[in-house]
Amino acid sequence: MHYFSASATATLTVLSAAALTQALSTWDAAYEKAQESLQSLTQDEKAGIVSGVTWEGGPCVGNTYAPKSIAYPSLCLQDGPLGIRFANPVTVFPAAINAGATWDRELIRARGAAMGAESKGLGVHVQLAPVAGALGKIPSAGRNWEGFGSDPYLSGIAMQEAIEGMQGSGVQACAKHYILNEQEHGRDSMSSNIDDRTMHELYLWPFYDAVKANVASVMCSYNKINGTWACENEAVLNGLLKEELGFRGYVMSDWNAQHSTVESANTGMDMTMPGSDFNQPPGSIYWDSNLVEAVANTSVSQDRLDDMVTRILAAWYLLEQDEGYPEVAFSSWNGGKASVDVTANHGDVARTIARDSIVLLKNENQTLPLKNPASLAIIGSDAIVNPDGANACTDRGCNKGTLAEGWGSGTAEFPYLIAPLDGIQKRVASNGTKIVTSTTDDATAGAEAAAGADMAIVFITSDSGEGYITVENNAGDRNDLNPWHDGNALVKAVAAVNTKTIVVVHSSGPVILETILQQPNVVAVVFAGLPGQESGNALADVLYGDVSPSGKLPYTIGQSEEDYGITWVKDGANDDFSEGLFIDYRHFDQNEIAPRYEFGFGLSYTRFNFSGIQVNVDATSGPATGAVGVGGAADLYEVVGTVSLVVTNIGDVAGAEVAQLYLGFPDTAPATPPKQLRGFQKLALEPSANGDVEIELRRRDISYWDVAQQQWVVPTGTFDVYVGASSRDIRLTGTFTV
C-alpha cells in the first residue's frame, strides 16, 4: 500500500480540478449574441477587434483594441503551452511532450484545467495552447516538446483533453500551429509541400479533435503550404478548417505570420497578431485602418469583416467571458509580477504528471527502486539548479543546470525549481544515505566522486527550442540527437569506476543511447523528458519506488539518427514531405528497422498480463456521409465497435499499465502503415488486481482518406487488431472484417 499512497492523494487533486469545469454555452447561442453585438459596432471598432494593438502595446503578448460601443475588452492573448509566459508566480507544468508520455487522459485534462484556471485568474482571455503542429515528424526539430508526441491519434486525444480542460476553466484555447510547421530552420520562408492523404491522416488529424472539442481559436503558422503562406491559404483555412472541419471559432495569425491585407482576409484569417510591423524594411501593418480601407474599396467584403468579428465575439461568448471575467493582473513587460496568486495546489498536478511521465527504459536485476544504498554519487550539471538562477536565461535560452523546459516562447518562469539533487536529498534525509556530488559535466571529477560510492546516478541532457534563440550552436532544431556537454563521456567515465551506474536523461526529444547502453555497468536508464518545476520530487518518487514508473515513449528512440530517415531541411530549402505517412514508428515498422526503444515502450516495477481479448466491430464500408458539424462529418465520431480485454497486475507492487491498440488496415486501403495507434487506456492496479479495458473505435479510427472521393472511407476487408504494452510488445491479437 505504501507504493500507492502518494498517487492516491494526487489523484484526488486531479479529480477535483476536473470537477471544477464549468458548463459551456453552445456555438449557436454564442453566435446569436455575437450577431446582436455586431449591429452596434462602427467599422473602425470592427477592424480594432480583429487587429492587435502592436507588440508591447498592452500587458499581454497579444492585445486587441477595445470598442466603445459594446462591453467587450481589449482581448488578452498569452503564451503558452506549459504555463503562462512572462507572469509570476505561475505553475511551470511538465512540457506537453511529458503530458503525452503519461498516456493518461485524466491527467492531460487536469493539466489543461489547472493552466486554464491560472490564465483566467490572471485575466488572460486566450491561452496560446495546445500544440499539435509540430507533430514531430523530425526527431531533432526544436519545438516538438510543445506538443504531445509523434502520433496523430495520441496527439488528437491529448488535444481534446487539454482543450476541454482549459476551456472548462473558462479560458479560450488556441490550437496551433496550423499547419506543417515541423521545423525551426527556415520556418519564415519555407514551403511544406504535402500530398492530400498525408495531410489528412497525419497532420490534420489532431486538429479534427481540437475543433470537435470546440476550440475557440486556431493559429495559422509561419510557413507556406504548397507555396502559399499558411495565413493566406484558401485550401487550408477556408477549405480544410472552416468547410471540412466545420470550425466556428476564429483564426489568428502567428506573431507576424501575416503577409497581406486582402489575401489573408479573403482566405479565412480572422485576427492579426500582434498587429505591429516587424518587417524589414518597415511599412506594412496589414489590418487595422488598412482593413477598413480594403472593405471601402471592395477588395474585402463587408460580410467577410463581419464574419471575422462574429467569430471572435462568439468565441468570447462561448466561454462566457462576458460574465465577470477578471481584469488582466500582470504586465509581460515589467517583470510580470501578478497582483494575485493563481497557483493554488497546481504544484501537485505538476508533480503527478512529472512522475507519471517518467519512462523507465532499462532496469537490470531490479536495480530500481533504490533500497537505501549506503552511499550514492550524484553526477552532472543537470542534477542542480542553474547557479545563476532557474530563470537566468531569457525564455530559458541556455542549458545550464537542470533541464526542465525547452527554450522559446513556449516557456514560463519557474516559481521554484526542485532539481534532482534537491528531491533526492529530501527523500533520503532520514535514511542515512551518504550523498557525494560532482555537479559539473567534467568526466574526471565525475569519476572521482563515483569511485567510492555504492551507486552512481549520472544526469545528462539534450535541449531544443524556438529558432529565435541559438543555444550552444543549436538554432532551435537540434544539430544531432546525442547527449549535450559530452554526456556520453561523462557516463563512460562514471561507469568505468562504479558497477551500479544509473543514467537519468532530461531531454526535449529522443536521444541516441547506444554508447551509454554499451557500458556494462549502466544498470538502469530513466528518461524524464522536460518535467517542469517539480522535477526532483517526481524523480525521487519513482527512484525510491513510492510509485512505479508508468510513462510510455510518445516517440521512437532509434539506434541512430539515420534510422529515422528524416532531418530538417536547410535554410532556403522546402520540405516535400516525401516520407508521406511513414514517420516515427510507421517508418521503422515499414522498413523493418529495429528501434532501440519503440514508440509506446516503458517498463514498470511490476508486471502485467493481458488476456481475454474480444473484438466487436460492426461497421459499413464506404465514405462518411454525415452532415458536417463542428469537427467534420458527424458520422466520423460514431462508435462502430469495441475492443475489450483484461489487464492483470501479476507482480508484487502497485503500478499502472497502458493498454495500446494498433490497427493494421486491409490492402483495400492502399499503402497504409503496418500498424497505427487507434486506442489506449491506462489502468492503475494493485498487486493481483485486474481491470477491464474497453476501447471504443469511432468510424474515423477505421477510415483512411480517399483522395479520389475526397472523403474518409472505411475500406472493405479484414483489419488486424494488435493490443500490447508498446507498438512492438504485442500481447493479444484479433481481427474484424468490414
Ligand X SMILES: *[C@@H]1O[C@H](CO)[C@@H](O)[C@H](O)[C@H]1NC(C)=O
Q: Kindly list the catalytic residues.
A: 254
Q: Is 730 helix (H, G, I), strand (E, B) or coil?
A: strand
Report the C-alpha gap between 654 and 502 in whole angstroms: 23
Coil vs helix vs strand at 114: helix
Q: Which is nearer to ligand X, 171 or 695 (CB)?
A: 695
Which of 293, 514, 652, 667 touches ligand X by CB under 6 A? 293
Establish if 648 lies at the interface with ligand X (CB under 6 A).
yes
Helix (H, G, I), strand (E, B) or coil at 589: helix
Amino acid present at 131:
V
Measured from the CB atom, the residue of 157 and 524 that comes closer to ligand X is 524
Cβ partners under 8 Å of residue 323, min gap 6: none
| Complex with ligand X: residue 369 or 415, whichever CB lies closer | 369
* The total number of residues written for the chain in this structure: 738
| Given 610, 680, 704, 719, the residue binding ligand X (CB under 6 A) | 610
- Bond prior to 623 in cis (omega within 30° of 0): no
Q: Is 236 a residue that touches ligand X (CB under 6 A)?
A: yes
Residue whose CB is less far from ligand X, 266 or 290: 290
Report, in Å, the least distance between residue 247 CB and ligand X. 15
Q: Rounded to the nearest whole angstrom, what is the least distance from the CB of residue 265 to ligand X in the complex?
A: 10
Least separation in angstroms between CB 451 and ligand X = 18
Nearer to ligand X, 609 or 616 (CB): 609
Based on the shown chain and the rule CB under 6 A, indicate whether residue 491 belongs to the binding site for ligand X.
Answer: no
Q: With CB under 6 A as the contact rule, which of the stretches 103-111, 193-201, 673-681, 721-729 interacts with ligand X?
A: 193-201
Alpha carbon 248 to chain centroid, angstroms: 23
DSSP state of 671: T
The residue from 611, 625, 710, 737 that contacts ligand X (CB under 6 A) is 611
32 binds ligand X (CB under 6 A): no
Find the part of the chain contacting ligand X (CB under 6 A) among 309-317, 339-347, 399-407, 604-612.
Answer: 604-612
Binding footprint of ligand X, residue count (CB under 6 A): 27
Q: Which residues of 505-522 are buried (b: 16+ CB within 10 A; e: fewer)?
A: bbbbbbbbbeebbebebb
Return the closest-CA partner of residue 271 out of 259, 292, 290, 287. 287
Q: How many CB atoms lie within 10 A of CB 668?
A: 15
- Helices and strands (DSSP H and E) totals, the chain: 18, 27
Gyration radius (Cα) of the chain, Å: 25
Span from 145-153, 293-301, 635-643, 713-721 in contact with ligand X (CB under 6 A): 293-301
Tell whether residue 181 is a contact of ligand X (CB under 6 A): no
CB of 713 to ligand X, least distance (A): 16
160 touches ligand X (CB under 6 A):
no
Per CB under 6 A, which region of 51-59, 195-203, 308-316, 547-555 contacts ligand X?
Answer: 195-203
Answer yes or no: are the C-beta atoms of 179 and 236 closer than 8 Å.
yes
Which of 622, 654, 634, 646 minimizes the C-alpha distance to 698? 634
**Residue 544 touching ligand X (CB under 6 A):** yes
Pick the piece of the chain touching ligand X (CB under 6 A) from 158-166, 244-252, 603-611, 693-701: 603-611
Q: Give min distance, CB of 283 to ligand X, in A.
A: 12
Mask for 383-422, x = binds ligand X (CB under 6 A): ----------------------------------------
Total Cβ atoms within 10 A of residue 614:
12
647 near ligand X, rule: CB under 6 A = no
| Least distance between ligand X and beta carbon 437 (Å) | 19
CB of 644 to ligand X, least distance (A): 14
| Minimum distance from residue 155 beta carbon to ligand X (Å) | 19
Pick the stretch among 112-120, 188-196, 401-409, 459-467 that binds ligand X (CB under 6 A).
188-196
The residue ranges of DSSP E strands in 375-446, in sequence order, are 375-379, 434-438
Residue 65 vs residues 39, 73, 75, 289, 649: alpha-carbon distances, Å: 18, 8, 8, 12, 57
Q: What residues between 312 and 371 interact with ligand X by CB under 6 A?
A: 364-365
Q: What φ, ψ does residue 118 adopt, rounded to 5°?
A: -65, -40
CA angle 305, 306, 308 (to 5 degrees): 65
What Å distances lie between residue 72 and 347, 651, 706, CA to CA?
33, 58, 44
Which residue in the set 226, 425, 479, 733 belongs to the binding site for ligand X (CB under 6 A)?
Answer: 226
Contact yes or no for 288/275 (Cβ under 8 A): yes
- The CA-CA-CA angle for residues 45, 47, 48, to 5°, reads 60
Which set of grid coordinates corresponds to residue 665?
Answer: 488496415
Which residue, 128 or 661, has its beta carbon nearer to ligand X? 661
Residue (199 or 512) nearer to ligand X, CB: 199
The residue (of 255 and 610) whose beta carbon lies closer to ligand X is 610
- Piece of 210-218, 290-298, 334-342, 452-460 that binds ligand X (CB under 6 A): 290-298
Does 203 help bind ligand X (rule: CB under 6 A)? no
* Candidate segments 104-112, 191-199, 248-256, 599-607, binder of ligand X by CB under 6 A: 191-199
Question: Long-range contacts for 275-280 (Cβ within 8 Å, ≥24 apart)?
Answer: 275/51, 275/52, 275/53, 275/54, 275/55, 275/57, 275/64, 276/52, 276/54, 276/55, 276/57, 277/54, 278/55
Question: Closest Cα partner for 526 from 6, 659, 540?
Answer: 540
Nearer Cβ to ligand X, position 594 or 650?
650
Q: Does 523 bind ligand X (CB under 6 A)?
A: yes
Q: Which stretch binds ligand X (CB under 6 A): 146-154, 342-350, 489-497, 609-617?
A: 609-617
**By CB under 6 A, what part of segment 254-273 binds ligand X?**
261-262
Q: Judge contact between 522 and 503, C-beta under 8 A.
A: yes
Give strand pairing partners of 680. Answer: 660
Amino acid identity for residue 433 in this structure = T
- For residue 143 the three cell numbers come to 519545438
Considering the rule CB under 6 A, would residue 577 count as an interface residue with ligand X? no
Omega before 274 within 30 of 0, i.e. cis: yes
The backbone torsions φ and ψ at residue 159, rounded to the nearest 5 degrees and listed phi first, read -60, -45
Min. distance of Cβ 545 from ligand X in angstroms? Answer: 7
Closer residue to ligand X (CB): 30 or 491 = 491
Closest approach of Cβ 316 to ligand X, in Å?
A: 27
Question: Are the C-beta atoms of residues 374 and 434 closer than 8 Å to each other?
Answer: yes
Check residue 69 for interaction with ligand X (CB under 6 A).
no
In angstroms, give the least distance from the CB of 659 to ligand X: 12
Q: Could you say whether residue 1 binds ligand X (CB under 6 A)?
A: no
Quick one: 545 or 626, whose CB is closer to ligand X?
545
- Find out whether 90 and 416 touch, Cβ atoms under 8 Å: no
Pick the closer one to ligand X by CB: 90 or 428. Answer: 428
Cell numbers describing residue 349? 498536478
Question: Interface residues with ligand X (CB under 6 A)?
Answer: 194-196, 199, 225-226, 235-236, 261-262, 290, 293-294, 297, 299, 364-365, 372, 430-431, 523, 544, 609-611, 648, 650
